[in-house]
A and B are shown apart, each in its own frame.
Chain A
Amino acid sequence: KNEVEQSPQNLTAQEGEFITINCSYSVGISALHWLQQHPGGGIVSLFMLSSGKKKHGRLIATINIQEKHSSLHITASHPRDSAVYICAVGNAGGTSYGKLTFGQGTILTVHP
């Protein structure tokens, strides 16, 4: 079993739909990251969180430490949101927040 599991692996939506991507992890963490990667492109850090909820524009990330679970929500989805979304965790007790264990990614396609 992977330390970080994402679901779904693939997600197709129509423009305007509300989208949820889930991430479960099995280890104690220092922080959880949500990343976005466009095909052939670089990686953009969307959120880093260790508790509660964060919002940036149409994106919302939540984390439940007790349940070892995080969700990334996209409201009013748009075709430009099409990308791979990656959950990553930094292990608790580590020397660095940047030593991350990554999920396998969720491929999101939003159709106009």
Chain B
Amino acid sequence: NAGVMQNPRHLVRRRGQEARLRCSPMKGHSHVYWYRQLPEEGLKFMVYLQKENIIDESGMPKERFSAEFPKEGPSILRIQQVVRGDSAAYFCASSRSLNSPLHFGNGTRLTVT
């Protein structure tokens, strides 16, 4: 049973480009969470999704960031018109149900040049 898969592991984008980060949850997991870890800072919650629904996006920046978890396929975190301040590690985690243990992916390291 594969763990939470995130790709790409490393992503380099120029300012103004779009970044798409993918997260495939563990098999049987329908809850997905995204977190961001800025350089020299702690982790911060961004968004919580279930299949086809955004449940809580209170940690998402108001502009340029969006997330989806379609019925088929991975969850996608999309950052439009990236800026240098978006450079960070982005982690996703999944769980089987609301209060079951979380399983984390290895993260995507985004570098904006």
Contacts and interface: CB of A to CB of B under 8 A. Distances in A.
Interface residues of A, number: 24
A44 interface: yes
Interface string B83-113: 0000000010101001111111111010000
Q: Is the interface of B mostly helix, strand, loop or mixed?
A: strand
B107 A102 contact: no
A33 B35 CA distance: 15
Nearest to A101: B45
Interface size class on chain B is 20 to 34
B69 interface: no
Interface in B48-104: 48, 55-56, 58-59, 91, 93, 95, 98-104
Nearest to A100: B45
Contacts of A44: 104
Interface in B9-62: 31, 33, 35, 42-45, 48, 55-56, 58-59
B36 to A, nearest CB: 11
Interface in A67-103: 86, 88, 95-103
Given A95-B56, A96-B31, A42 B43 contact: no
Contacts of A57: none
Nearest to A30: B99
Nearest to B50: A96
